[in-house]
Amino acid sequence: MTPSPAPGEANAASTSDPGTADIKLRVRHEKVPIPLLWLDTWIFIRLARARAGEISGSDAAKLTRLGELLIAMRDQRKLIVPETGHDIEIEAGGHLVEETRRVMTQVSLGVSTHFRVGRDSQIYRGLRAFAAREIEFDLPWREIFTEDPLEEIARAGPLIRVDLNTSAADLADHRRANEDLARRLEMLRLDCRARAETFDARLRVELRGVIDAVLQLARDLHGKVARGEPADPDEWIRYSVEVGRWVETLHEHLTAASTAGDDKFADLVRFYESPWWTELPAIRIMCELYAIKLTGGEPIRASDVQDMEQIAVLLPFAEAMVLDRAMADKVRRLRLDSRYGTEIIAGIDDLLVWLEALQP
């Protein structure tokens, strides 16, 4: 396998299509027919702790009521509460792991989503619309799920959950990787603050970031091939996942539309510079969250990246999301809640009020 020719600096800088710069897209997103509620991992953990008797008093009573409401509304088909990669955080916590998994399964009925599934489906639809120059296109809610949740709920019976526990070494590697990423982002945040970088300036950097990363990845791999140096298998995998498949997918659509250029890689860069990329909700939300975090005064935590990934993909389709107070504040300041019609909830009390309001 040989990577597509990596464009040179001059070529990369000249790929922008001025004809697309002022296009106003209408990207329509559908809400899930049964209200989708996303819960941050700490909710499941607190529910498990309350069941285990580790929380007492009024807090325990509230959590008991919350658990009852979630299960009752699940049974009444009034709520979908999906699993979205919570398990790795639960395992990493190392406390009441099985109890927390049990709570999560009871609430979710096994319905699950994944950040990459939802993000990739949006990218695919953006590529297709870009090739056809469609200024209106839809993002179906079903594509954020690994399986159709309505069918999963309809056939739900006794659930048997099977988890392959992550090894201690893998958990330690995951924790180190998250902490290392958080440290690097925190260093970047401090640099942004020292330079008094504005949100708008940082947002432009974030939206451009994927282009720079893709160009660098392709050039590094292409350079090794040209020099006869062996490339690590992980480099080939990363290239295939992050570059190769999108190059070929876009080329197929451009060819079908009779608008393919001579340089497939340059076509992909043009897509990344166009509104068909920058206005995809999963991309726009993620970049705005990064921009507000990196120009803000609050230190970046290891859990922030995963939370931002879930918000970026699920927020347009969810009726409500329960976030920690710091992240909820960022989402509200960006007005993402009003932009996408999603309720942002930051505590147990507010969640109970929201759920009670859905009851007859």
Q: Please answer whether residues 154 and 260 qualify as being in contact, where contact means their C-beta atoms are separated by less than 8 angstroms.
A: no
Residue 127: strand pairing partners: none
Is the confidence at residue 155, as pLDDT, over 50? yes
| pLDDT for the residue numbered 10 | 31
Q: What is the pLDDT of residue 92?
A: 78
Gap between the Cα atoms of 278 and 16, Å rounded: 13
For 73-98, letters b (16+ CB in 10 Å) and e give: bbeeebbbbbbbebbbbbbbeeebbe
Higher pLDDT, 16 or 289: 289
pLDDT band at 210 (very low <50, low <70, confident <90, very high): confident
What span, in angstroms and rounded, lies between the C-alpha atoms of 216 and 235?
12
- The average pLDDT across 248-274 equals 92
Q: Does residue 7 register a pLDDT over 60? A: no
Q: What is the pLDDT of residue 175?
A: 77
Q: Binning pLDDT at 50, 70 and 90, where does residue 159 land?
A: low
Q: DSSP string of 287-352?
A: HHHHHHHHTSSSPPPTTHHHHHHHHHHHTTT-SEEE--HHHHHHHHHTTHHHHHT-EEE-SHHHHH
The yes-or-no verdict on residue 328 having pLDDT over 50 is yes
Mean pLDDT of 187-207: 96
Task: Give residue 341's pLDDT band: very low, low, confident or very high (50, 70, 90).
Answer: very high
In 3D space, the residue among 90, 45, 144, 115 whose CA is nearest the CA of residue 306 turns out to be 115
Q: How many residues does the chain have?
A: 360
The pLDDT tens digits for 15-68 are 455 556 678 899 999 999 999 999 999 999 999 999 999 999 999 999 999 999
Q: Cα dihedral sign for 128, 133, 137, 139?
A: positive
For residue 9, the model assigns a pLDDT of 35
Alpha helices in 83-194 (DSSP H): 86-93, 97-108, 115-132, 149-154, 168-194
Mean local confidence (pLDDT), 228-251: 87
Residue 161 pLDDT class (50, 70, 90 cuts): low
CA pair distance 23, 103, nearest whole angstrom: 47
pLDDT of residue 330: 96
Q: What is the chain's mean pLDDT, rounded?
A: 87
- 13 has a pLDDT exceeding 70: no
Q: What is the pTM of this model?
A: 0.88
Whether residue 5 is predicted with pLDDT greater than 70 in this model: the reply is no
According to DSSP, residue 146 is labeled S
Look at residues 290, 358, 317 and name the one whose alpha carbon lies nearest to residue 38.
317
The CA-based angle 310-315-317, given to 5 degrees, is 115
**Lowest-confidence region among 13-27, 198-212, 336-350:** 13-27
pLDDT digit string, tens, across residues 264-283: 889 999 999 999 999 999 99
Nearest to 36 by CA among 73, 72, 75, 81: 81
Q: Regarding predicted confidence, which is higher, 172 or 265?
A: 265
**Which pLDDT does position 4 carry in this prediction?**
45
pLDDT surpassing 60 at residue 232: yes
